[in-house]
């Protein structure tokens, strides 16, 4: 009696396995059919093009001494950066046309013996002005910080309201009569410069003796009217800045300006020194805003990417 029971159990088990296989096979066919229908309904999309990395040239030499900080900021923002000595550009050992971003850092070119940035601007005019003008005409980003800002103003590249590259403003001795080295707040203005999109404010240091932006009232009015004032000094609450929040006494608290295209930007403060959390004075208390400064450089890099 036991043997027939075992035989029957084996037959039932075999039948169950066979049935399970059929169920699984049918399920697979249904799933395959559904996937084929979904795939057919979806439009075929091309693989996304790989983003090109823009090349940034950071000027060095003759007393410029903040090139490493500026190069670090652009590297963090996604650019491929070369620190290049002025003489290598002048001799054409390095060509500006091979780069998509040109940046002049801070420092004391030629010791600021005559005026901040004056000698460097004259040397640039006599060495590679044509290459610089070609770079500018192409619409590639140009950035000048501190001594670099002074150079662009003395060169006539900023603000260049006339379009003739004539000097229309200057950066003069601080009203305090002393070198200013402190952390300040900057508020982006409604301007033609797009490098501050998504940047609510910038908290970074200044370190200069000649940072007072000076121009006649007509020029100042034109800058405001044309949206060429990119940055203003403000206090910690984003209100009107007086000394020391406006560290140099700049007219109308102007900290940075751009040209009519918004592609050339100059500013006295150093946002490249505030892309790392650890550099902020109160970072141990959790107070820092490195994302704002980094976003600024990322915007410039994204603009440079259009020309890569």
Do residues 221 and 198 lie in contact, with contact meaning Cβ atoms separated by under 8 Å?
no
Instruction: Show the DSSP H helices in the chain as ranges.
Output: 2-41, 67-76, 86-90, 118-137, 147-155, 217-225, 290-305
Catalytic residue among 168, 272, 290, 298: 272
Catalytic residue among 56, 67, 146, 168: 146
d(CA 158, CA 219): 12
Catalytic residue among 67, 168, 203, 270: 270
Residue 56 known to be catalytic: no
Residue from 128, 110, 129, 138 nearest 54 by CA: 138
Do residues 77 and 294 lie in contact, with contact meaning Cβ atoms separated by under 8 Å?
yes
Residue 270 known to be catalytic: yes
d(CA 58, CA 143): 9
Q: Residue 193's CB: how many other CB atoms inside 10 A?
A: 26
Do residues 112 and 153 lie in contact, with contact meaning Cβ atoms separated by under 8 Å?
no
d(CA 111, CA 53): 35
Residue from 270, 269, 259, 65 nearest 166 by CA: 259
Residue 272 known to be catalytic: yes
Q: What are phi and psi of 206, to 5 degrees?
A: -115, 155
Q: Active-site residue numbers? A: 146, 270, 272
């Amino acid at each position: 009696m036991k043997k027939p029971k075992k035989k029957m159990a084996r037959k039932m088990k075999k039948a169950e396995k066979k049935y399970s296989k059929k169920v699984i096979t049918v399920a697979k066919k249904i799933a395959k059919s559904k996937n084929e229908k979904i795939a057919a309904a979806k439009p075929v999309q091309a693989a996304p093009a790989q983003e090109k990395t823009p090349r940034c040239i950071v000027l060095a030499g003759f007393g410029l001494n903040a090139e490493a900080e500026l190069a670090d900021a652009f590297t963090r923002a996604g650019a491929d950066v070369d620190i290049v000595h002025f003489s290598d550009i002048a001799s054409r050992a390095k060509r500006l046309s091979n780069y998509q971003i040109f940046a002049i850092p801070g420092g004391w070119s030629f010791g600021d013996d005559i005026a901040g940035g004056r000698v460097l601007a004259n040397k640039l005019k006599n060495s590679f002005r044509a290459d610089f003008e070609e770079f500018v005409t192409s619409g590639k980003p140009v950035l000048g910080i501190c001594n670099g800002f002074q150079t662009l103003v003395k060169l006539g590249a900023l603000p260049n309201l006339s379009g003739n590259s004539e000097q229309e403003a200057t950066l003069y001795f601080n009203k305090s009569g002393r070198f200013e080295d402190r952390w300040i707040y900057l508020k982006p203005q409604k301007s033609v410069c797009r490098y501050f999109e998504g940047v609510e404010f910038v908290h970074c240091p200044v370190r200069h003796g000649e940072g007072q932006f000076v121009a006649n009232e007509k020029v100042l009015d034109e800058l405001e009217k044309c949206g060429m004032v990119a940055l203003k000094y403000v206090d910690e609450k984003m209100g009107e800045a007086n000394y020391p929040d406006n560290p140099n006494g700049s007219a109308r608290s102007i900290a940075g300006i751009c040209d009519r295209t918004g592609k050339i930007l100059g500013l006295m403060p150093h946002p490249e020194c505030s892309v790392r959390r650890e550099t902020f004075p109160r970072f141990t208390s959790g107070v820092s805003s490195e994302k704002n400064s980094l976003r600024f450089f990322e915007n410039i890099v994204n603009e440079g990417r259009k020309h890569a």
